[in-house]
Structure 1
Amino acid sequence: MLPHYSMTQPKGLTSVLKWEVNPDYSRESVTLLAGSGVVRTITVGMILAMLATAADISAAVAVDASNTGNGVLTMSAPAVTGKVKEGVYTVVCTEPAANGGTFEVSDPNGESIGTAQVGAAFTKQVRFTIADGSNDFAASDRFEITVSGADINPNAGKVVAWDPTAFDGSEVPWGIAATDAEAPYGVDLPIGLIALRRDVLCFANGIVWPDGVTDAQKAVALEDLEKQGIVVRTA
């Protein structure tokens, strides 16, 4: 019997990229953030995130003077995620309930980003909890959260691997790695990492997902990528 050999090769770009409108337009050279304690490693097919600032953003809460309910909205720490926008978020009671209620949360553009339940943490662009008061909330009771002071931090604009559990901007899918790259401990890598950024079609089996990612997190990531023109297909 002849001996049988098998060899596993690392993913190449053709394992991920099915089509792109033009390499000069679809790809982008990016800076990989320095490793923290260890080398930071990116491989072809990993979803990338662009770091934003959240630490220096202020989120001020205002209570509508006409509110019937006297419950309090308290911001979490951190108060925002990397997806936050500067401006005024509105939190409006749409379904009153005894000792509870449902609030619609809208971003500064007036677009709904979800609903918040009294007594439960809301953890999207802005992060807060509404506590029940001695007087129940009524329909149209509202809070406003003014987000401002988005100072750029030293790492803003640098790329890391996507992390759906983070709050520093790395939870926001931004692109897909088209090359392997390593940033040494304490030293950024300004040249060498190329990202697929726009008007591309990718193979689903070429995506390298982080350990522990859930199907729900995958679905959200793929939806966010598609909004940027990065489409992932199973065939």
Structure 2
Amino acid sequence: MTVLTETLHAGGFIVSEANGMRSREQVAIGLSQTLVTAQVLGRAPVAASVTSSVAADAGNTGNGVFTIDATTPVLSDAKNGVYRVFCVEPVTNLGTFAVVDPKGVEIGRAIVGTTFSNQIKFAIADGATDFVAGDAFSVTVGIEDADYDYKTFDTTATDGCQHAAAVLFSAVTTDGSAKKQGVVMRRDCELRASDLTWPASNLTAAQKAQAIQELADLGIILR
């Protein structure tokens, strides 16, 4: 007798979700993937689609030039919104700037004359008039869901997919030449934890706990 095994139906892992389609999002699924229903996904920004701009504060004393990197202005983990870059240690012909992400978290320090590369990439050149404490720049990053490729969550990735960002509604397979549209659970829902598919290897208990928290931060609660 042939034994048939029924796989998880599309959305069969959902315990509850928001009214209408608010919990779901149609997204681009990256190339060369075989993804199953309820697979945990990460997402990688498509740099060519992301916009970025910079503006100096009107009251700045220093007149050095702030230049966004022309090739990779936005890196993995970049957030949608306004980054603030402000002088905290003025030095003659140099200076140190704190870089704060759109959520108000400091992500590093930039030194005048060197390249800063964490979430955003830029350099600040020294000008004829030195920077003083409080001189600042705003970097606006525009990222929408259409500007991401969704891929398998992988703690060894470096393109942003090392962070859990969604759970796949139904199975999708892509080849090496074309992306496909897929539906993911992105916010405000409860999902059955035992149904989720995680990476087959390289996932420690601490990493899984972190990923579960990342989903919770999006309003995706595992039951």
Does the alignment reach a TM-score above 0.5? yes
Task: Give the C-alpha shift of residue 96 in structure 1.
Answer: 1.8
Match of 2:193 among 188, 203, 215: 203
For 2:67 and 2:204, the matched residues in 1 are separated by 29
DSSP 3-state at the match of 1:138: coil
Structure 2: runs of 5 or more not aligned: none
CA offset digits 1:190-221 (Å, max 9, x no partner): 5xx66444421453895513866788876664
Q: In the alignment, is the contact (CA less than 8 A) between 1:96 and 1:137 conserved in 2?
A: no
**Is the deviation greater in 197-206 or in 20-29?**
20-29
Query: Which residue number in structure 1 is paired with residue 29 of structure 2?
Result: 33
Query: Which residue number in structure 2 is paired with residue 6 of structure 1?
Result: none
- Name the aligned partner's letter for residue 118 of structure 1: A
**Root-mean-square deviation over aligned CA pairs:** 4.8
Query: Which residue number in structure 2 is paired with residue 116 of structure 1?
Result: 108
| TM, length-normalised to structure 1 | 0.58
Structure 1: runs of 5 or more not aligned: 1-8
DSSP 3-state at the match of 1:21: strand
DSSP 3-state at the match of 1:224: helix
Task: Give the C-alpha shift of residue 66 in structure 1.
Answer: 4.4
- Name the aligned partner's letter for residue 103 of structure 1: A
Query: Which residue number in structure 2 is paired with residue 21 of structure 1?
Result: 16
The answer on 1:60 being equivalent to 2:53 is yes
| TM, length-normalised to structure 2 | 0.60
Task: Give the C-alpha shift of residue 140 in structure 1.
Answer: 0.9
Query: Which residue number in structure 1 is paired with residue 39 of structure 2?
Result: 46
Q: In the alignment, is the contact (CA less than 8 A) between 1:121 and 1:127 conserved in 2?
A: yes
Structure 2 vs 1, CA of residues 123 and 186 (structure 1 numbering), >3 Å: closer, same or farther? same
For 1:132 and 1:213, the matched residues in 2 are separated by 45
CA offset digits 1:17-36 (Å, max 9, x no partner): 5x72259869748566363x
Count of residue pairs the alignment pairs up: 206
Query: Which residue number in structure 2 is paired with residue 184 of structure 1?
Result: 175
Match of 1:105 among 73, 76, 100: 100
CA offset digits 1:86-138 (Å, max 9, x no partner): 6x543223x3254543424253xxx41424312362422x3334466787643
